[in-house]
Structure 1
């Protein structure tokens, strides 16, 4: 259950790791480097943004856009109507692109790993697990 306290924790912890231009760029690079290292078979999904070179400006911009989408959802976790509309918007985008539902599970696993690295003992994995489950369920095609 992604209750009020868990939503607060997720928002607060996300802000710690993803606020400010430097943090966004650093977090994105770390995330995608690990994600594509762990899932080299998915590099081809990012061909149009030069996924074979995560340091390219095209991929850097794409990586930040993806995480900014997550940021937009986390930012409205406690605003039910806006949250629902934002999830529907992202679901439509991912459905149109043919994104497979299982990619969200891979994304979540990687996200938790990176958050754990960044937040250390302050990482509330239970809060993230429960709230990310709601987010992913709302976006999965």
Structure 2
């Protein structure tokens, strides 16, 4: 099964031709502007994204009872948000290294599969991430982000329950 997931992740990367070298560079640069600052800035950004997620689809909170999704200011949820955005940071940095990116995506897929996270919520998260990014980055490149984040999103979410 793991081999199949890695194969699908490779196909996803290959099919994401809109996430070419220039788009990857733009995504990395814009991510650095938002996420490359202090821990306080990263934490604030993460909270903004999750607040947007929960406002956009309140049912998502039900997936985060273990980490106090009812309170984005709780220590448990802040720690979870830091782990999520740490994973995104790794994936963004690996956009130019497909083999290592696919290994990371397989790892993240397995974690989400074990927790029963439905595929549909990755679209909600993507929407909230891009909306929040756009409010922080001048001349935000929505097309580059959609294409490149879809490589990450699909690599994690492919094959999860609907």
Residue number in structure 2 paired with 1:49: 67
1:12 positional shift: 0.8
Q: Distance in 2 between matches of 1:128 and 1:7?
A: 8
Residue number in structure 1 paired with 2:126: 108
Q: Which has the larger share of helix? A: 1
1:12 aligns with 2:33: no
**Pairwise CA RMSD of aligned residues?**
1.0
Structure 1, unaligned stretches of length 5 or more?
none
Structure 2, unaligned stretches of length 5 or more?
1-17
Q: Distance in 1 between matches of 2:154 and 2:92?
A: 14
1:30 aligns with 2:48: yes
Residue number in structure 1 paired with 2:103: 85
1:91 positional shift: 0.9
Q: Which runs of 4+ in 1 moved over 6 A?
A: none
Residue number in structure 1 paired with 2:5: none
Residue number in structure 1 paired with 2:141: 124
TM-score (norm 2): 0.83
Q: Distance in 2 between matches of 1:44 and 1:56?
A: 16
1:14 positional shift: 0.5
Whether the 8 Å CA contact 2:126–2:149 is kept in 1: the answer is: yes
Q: Distance in 2 between matches of 1:79 and 1:41?
A: 35
**Alpha-carbon displacement from aligned partner over 1:6-25 (angstroms, at most 9, x marks no partner):** 01111111111011312211
1:55 positional shift: 0.7
Residue number in structure 2 paired with 1:65: 83
**Alpha-carbon displacement from aligned partner over 1:110-129 (angstroms, at most 9, x marks no partner):** 11100110113x20001001
